């Protein structure tokens, strides 16, 4: 990875790059902890952290010189200043979207030109390697197994929060990293809340239960949504569910390397565009995913992104009717040269419990 970055630095006439976004730190160094920074140059790679993490960094990042910033400067940028001033660095880059004002104020005082960059590492990260695809695949398989388990617990009287905590537990015992990340588990009329959080509401007969959740495996994230129904679906619930399922299928039919996000969006709305439900769909129908949950490419009519081979993206059209409820089905998709493969494979047809 770092070698590709060197090509970029040379092209841009930049001598070093300060990395502060944690997912980018992990991507470039394999470090799995928190609160750490990199300074990457062709002359040497530096890892800046505090004493909680120095031993871990030594174990995980053998190509880096580890600096405990508390021993070197009062702040992280002051430590960087000392590193930079000991080298012949004329211009260095920093992540413009990931540096706070105080850090920025110190960076520009360094006796070397500070150049903001955005999205460079993210662009590299959007094309997954063989190993990253493996990790994402395993994360998705864990999510599928957790889905099988949670179905047995969904019944009248149990609360959304109880189910959400069981779902997290199932993911961990099925192999997820222990660090959880936010999960949506909502029911009944609450399912129209696009990002509703689990509440003390108890499940009732006739409720949709919408579960949008993910786990991580070696830091790589899964993201899947399934919506089930407790009892028998009404005609309208079935109609909305089947339209939503069709939106998902139609999106996948067109997904392949070289296809635009706009084309996928247009395919997704084909089945609802002349119905009342068009007014209730949400146009952000997916996103890249890897070490972070929402990353490029973004899938919406406003996006200019084009799918590339070995992108991993979610596809998650939805129909959300305020005061009535909503349905979302979300899969995580590996983009292939001539098509795609779903990494999440839990059943998509309506499940009536």
**Would you tell me which residues interact with ligand GLY (CB under 6 A)?**
212, 223, 316, 330
Closest to Mn ion by CB, 119 or 284: 284
Residue 214 CB, shortest distance to Mn ion, in Å, is 6
Among 132, 212, 244, 250, binds Mn ion (CB under 5 A): 212
Among 176, 227, 303, 314, binds Mn ion (CB under 5 A): 314
Neighbours of 273 (CB within 10 A): 11
Residue 212 CB, shortest distance to ligand GLY, in Å, is 5
Residues contacting 228, CB < 8 A, separation 6+ = 151, 154, 208, 209, 211, 350, 351, 352, 353
**CB 221, CB 252: distance < 8 Å:** no
Look at phi and psi of residue 231 and say left if phi exceeds 0, alpha if psi is from -120 to 50, else beta: left
Which partner in ligand GLY, Mn ion, none is near 331 (CB below 5 to 8 A by kind)? none
Give the strand pairing for 340-342 and 331-335: antiparallel
**CB 318, CB 199: distance < 8 Å:** no
Q: Considering the rule CB under 5 A, would residue 24 count as an interface residue with Mn ion?
A: no
Q: How far apart are CA 239 and CA 69, in angstroms?
A: 59
Closest to ligand GLY by CB, 207 or 223: 223
Residue 347 CB, shortest distance to Mn ion, in Å, is 17
Residue 136 CB, shortest distance to ligand GLY, in Å, is 15
Residue 330 CB, shortest distance to ligand GLY, in Å, is 6
Closest to Mn ion by CB, 14 or 343: 343
Which partner in Mn ion, ligand GLY, none is near 95 (CB below 5 to 8 A by kind)? none
**Footprint of Mn ion (CB under 5 A):** 212, 223, 314, 330
């Amino acid at each position: 990875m770092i070698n590709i970055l060197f090509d970029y630095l040379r092209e841009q006439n930049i001598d070093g790059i300060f990395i502060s976004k944690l997912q980018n730190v992990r991507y470039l160094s394999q470090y799995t902890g928190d609160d750490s920074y990199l300074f990457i140059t062709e002359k040497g790679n530096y890892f800046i952290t505090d004493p909680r993490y120095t031993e871990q960094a030594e174990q995980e990042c053998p190509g880096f010189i580890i600096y405990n910033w508390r021993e070197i400067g009062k702040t992280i940028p002051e430590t960087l200043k000392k590193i930079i001033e000991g080298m012949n660095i004329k211009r260095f880059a920093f992540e413009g979207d990931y540096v706070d004002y105080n850090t920025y104020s110190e960076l520009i005082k360094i006796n070397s030109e500070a150049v903001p960059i955005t999205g460079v590492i993210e662009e590299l990260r959007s094309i997954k390697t063989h190993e990253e695809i493996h990790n994402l695949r395993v994360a998705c398989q864990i999510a599928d197994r957790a889905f099988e388990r949670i179905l047995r617990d969904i019944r009248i009287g149990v609360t959304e929060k109880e189910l959400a905590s069981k779902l997290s537990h199932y993911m961990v015992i099925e192999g997820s990293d222990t660090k959880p990340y936010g999960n949506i588990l909502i029911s009944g009329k609450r399912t129209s809340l696009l990002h509703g959080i689990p509440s003390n509401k108890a499940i009732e007969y006739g409720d949709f239960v919408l579960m949008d959740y993910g786990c991580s495996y070696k830091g790589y994230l899964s993201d899947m949504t399934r919506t089930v129904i407790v009892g028998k679906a009404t005609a309208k619930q079935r109609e909305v569910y089947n339209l939503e399922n069709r939106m998902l299928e139609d999106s996948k039919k067109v997904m392949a390397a070289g296809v635009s996000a706009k084309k996928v969006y247009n395919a997704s709305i084909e089945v609802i565009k002349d119905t009342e439900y068009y007014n209730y769909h949400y146009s952000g129908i997916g996103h890249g995913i890897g070490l972070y949950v929402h990353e490029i490419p973004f899938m919406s009519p406003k996006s200019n992104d084009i799918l590339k081979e070995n992108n991993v993206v979610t596809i998650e059209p939805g129909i959300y009717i305020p005061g009535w409820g909503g349905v979302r089905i979300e899969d995580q998709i590996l983009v292939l040269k001539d098509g795609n493969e779903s990494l999440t494979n839990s059943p998509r047809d309506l499940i009536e419990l």
